[in-house]
């Protein structure tokens, strides 16, 4: 369905009472696979297919929401830190408590140890959530951590500007944040990072959705003077154009 949603427009204008026409985009002509085209045709003609497709999408949303549920029971019984640890480990990420040198991960069978019980009072210091399906609702588990120092959210497909705006609760302690490869993050979300006063290192590699990355980097550095921003090069502004070409354009 993801593919269906991103395909082009011409098959939509079938039913005559459906007056919604979107602007034709002549410059974008993605290759639509035969399977997608058949599915779209069937979607437009049959109510059953429409119901099934919508249902499968809502099931996908439901399962994502379930993975990111708030671990309220765990929090009541074992405390904030263990709840956050359970949540991250369930998603497939890693966690490190303060004072410990070893990281906790899920083992191959998908289980993690019961010795988390010992860490009720010890705060979580680093969270590695690379590539996990963490969402805005799931961040409710992490915002309770009062001494989180490192948060690695690189390559998380569902992290967007809303998630970044939620990070303000970690403003007292967060020192390193990584957002590389998060496709939905844009410069509006990055503007909210000024709440994180103690942030020292910010990684912003490979963020395609930001317009003017060089300008955003300069503005961010103005607002957060102590923070080191990695991953955005000022020469990105000259993407593909050499200096001579730009001079020619301006003269």
Q: Using CB under 8 A, list all residues that contact another protein.
A: 1, 4-9, 11-12, 17-20, 22, 40, 43, 47, 53, 58, 61, 136, 161-162, 164-166, 168, 187-192, 194-195, 212, 215-216, 219-220, 222-223
Residue 175 or residue 221: which is nearer to another protein going by CB? 221
Residue 166 or residue 200: which is nearer to another protein going by CB? 166
Q: How far apart are CA 66 and CA 70, in angstroms?
A: 9
State the nearest-atom distance from the C-beta of 51 to another protein, in Å.
Answer: 9
Which residue from 15, 62, 18 is spatially nearest to 41, judged by alpha carbons? 15
Residue 1 or residue 238: which is nearer to another protein going by CB? 1
Say if residues 207 and 179 touch (Cβ distance below 8 Å): yes
State the nearest-atom distance from the C-beta of 127 to another protein, in Å.
Answer: 20
State the nearest-atom distance from the C-beta of 205 to another protein, in Å.
Answer: 20
CA distances, 33 to each of 8, 30, 45, 108 (Å): 11, 9, 19, 36
Number of H helices, E strands in the chain: 10, 6
Q: How far apart are CA 134 and CA 37, in angstroms?
A: 31
Residue 7 or residue 86: which is nearer to another protein going by CB? 7
């Amino acid at each position: 369905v993801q593919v269906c949603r991103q395909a082009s427009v011409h098959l939509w204008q079938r039913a005559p009472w459906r007056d919604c026409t979107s602007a034709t985009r002549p410059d974008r002509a993605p290759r639509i696979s035969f399977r997608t085209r058949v599915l779209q045709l069937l979607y437009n003609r049959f109510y059953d297919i429409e119901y099934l497709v919508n249902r499968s999408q809502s099931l996908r949303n439901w399962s994502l929401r379930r993975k990111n549920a708030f671990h309220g029971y765990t929090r009541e019984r074992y405390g904030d830190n263990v709840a956050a640890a359970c949540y991250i480990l369930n998603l497939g990420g890693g966690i490190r408590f303060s004072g410990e040198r070893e990281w906790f991960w899920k083992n191959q069978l998908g289980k993690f140890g019961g010795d988390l019980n010992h860490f009720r009072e010890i705060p979580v210091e680093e969270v590695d959530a690379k590539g996990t399906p963490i969402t805005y609702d799931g961040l409710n588990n992490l915002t309770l951590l009062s001494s989180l120092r490192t948060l690695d959210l690189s390559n998380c497909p569902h992290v967007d500007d809303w998630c970044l705006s939620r990070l303000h609760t970690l403003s007292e302690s967060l020192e390193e944040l990584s957002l590389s490869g998060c496709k939905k993050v844009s410069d509006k979300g990055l503007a909210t990072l000024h709440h994180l006063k103690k942030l020292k290192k910010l990684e912003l590699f490979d963020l395609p959705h930001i317009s003017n990355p060089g300008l955003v980097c300069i503005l961010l550095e103005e607002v957060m003077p102590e923070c080191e921003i990695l991953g955005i090069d000022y020469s990105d502004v000259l993407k593909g154009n050499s200096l001579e070409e730009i001079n020619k354009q301006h003269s």
